Structure 1
């Protein structure tokens, strides 16, 4: 049965929520868009007149599509070139979803999205639906075809796993800008000492090039090692300019609620560096340079004026 205009409108009203759920489950904006489109095709093929609660039906279909995707993604990531990091979303992107509570804001952080990779698909689904979207365990049980008790147990287990690996400070936009300014000043000073002072002793630096852009396959660990890496990264050089095809501008931004540096070349985002900030300093630098994971960021960037860059890279 063909969809009516009202049927299509009902789906489109749910699209932002569905995209936000899919992004948090998959860590990829492009994959989230694909899964939401597949959910629409399922909606189109269904007898929607017999669906009593469209929101619940759509969420169930979407979540199960994401679970299938996560299972296959695990196999693909075993052969992924280098480190795998989520796709960063810049401030204001509707795919970030709800951010009204501290729990919701933390659940969309780049650090937590990375930590979610440690969970099984089922644990990840329960955690995201409960923590980020406040679904009652009764509804989660219906979505995943498990008992309410099982949902509660899975959530507590997943939350414990995530909590064991995070220590994030929630900061406002002004503080985020200050963190970026201090980091840039230290990174371009030509010395490691200013950087070491900004980092925690157990700081790490991770880059995701996806085999398409050079990125170290193993993380840098420890404040000194990270500081030396960052100092070298920001050191000007013709070889770097030739490799990337020019000299990108560096801007201060926020990505997934964290302070970030965005490198832009000829209107194209070529890198997003997210800084994980704790009371003791910057504990992680996660640098996304895989072009496949920067397409949405480029579209978002082009939609607004950002003024002049803080500096020209390389």
Structure 2
């Protein structure tokens, strides 16, 4: 019994780190707790004397559990990570309330947490372990079941997708960003005139959350009335298929994406995309200030 208590105490030393790793990989607090608990079960069945580096061993185990969960989620065609609602993080010993959940999501970076969901399981695991937790590629290779060279390529591909490596003409990018930023700021502030000024007179909004005639809004005045003062606090700029758009992701849960088309420096088309399947086909990237 005393050995089991000692093992439990050792595990508790690493619990917060394991929770951080699992949350970044899964984007769900309840699933992160499940992964951590599975790591504890595997440790309790292992020969502790054969484990030279407890922290490394546990990180490897929880990472393998997470990648299995991600692959299972994908194979069952469940909602994508970014559309998965984080549950309240609860266990017998740890309870994280919604405020703590928000703090945890903010510590990861809400936009980053949302965009991570666009990566495939191996890319996500590799990026989190190497770029966030500085684990060497040779150790990650055994976790994802690939060579070290292939693992480096996974990390490189993940960085490009996350950080928006697509080349854009500087002038076009600056104009897009200025127009979309002005649109978002005016929507927050309820500045109707600035909203109309940012929109093409014949602008079209397509909203996949709506049905029938309400699915499409036409005209600058109609669209400005619809969004003025109603922008969510969680809305922020991002690259959407290589152009400047908006993602709305409170606490890392991606609710929807706004994709824009410009015409002579004004917004001519807006696509509001909330369907998880459609979102998974978008190339999203964090747009830093």
Name the TM-score, length of structure 1 as normaliser.
0.53
CA drift of 1:54 comes to 1.1
Counterpart for residue 140 of structure 2: 140
Tell me the C-alpha RMSD between the 2 structures: 4.6
Deviations along 1:53-99, one digit per CA (max 9) or x if unpaired, are: 111211111111111111122244x4549x825649867867459x6
Distance 2:206 2:110 in 1: 13
The structure richer in helix per residue is 2
Counterpart for residue 231 of structure 1: 228
Distance 1:149 1:71 in 2: 22
Distance 1:90 1:205 in 2: 34
CA 1:196–1:166: 2 relative to 1, 3 Å: farther
Distance 1:195 1:165 in 2: 32
1:284 paired with 2:285, answer no
CA drift of 1:2 comes to 7.5
Counterpart for residue 189 of structure 1: 190
* Counterpart mapping for 1:184-263 below 5 A: 186-187=187-188, 189=190, 191=192, 193-194=194-195, 229-231=226-228, 233=230, 261=233
Note the residue ranges of structure 2 that are not aligned, 5 or more in a row.
Answer: 88-97, 168-182, 199-204, 256-289
CA drift of 1:286 comes to 0.8
CA 1:70–1:193: 2 relative to 1, 3 Å: same
Deviations along 1:170-226, one digit per CA (max 9) or x if unpaired, are: xxxxxxxxxxxx9788536372635976xxxxxx9999xxxxxxx569x999xx798
CA 1:71–1:58: 2 relative to 1, 3 Å: same
CA 1:186–1:150: 2 relative to 1, 3 Å: closer
Distance 1:72 1:110 in 2: 24
Counterpart for residue 71 of structure 1: 71
Distance 1:86 1:206 in 2: 21
CA drift of 1:19 comes to 0.9
Name the TM-score, length of structure 2 as normaliser.
0.56
Counterpart for residue 84 of structure 1: 83
Higher gyration radius (CA) = 2
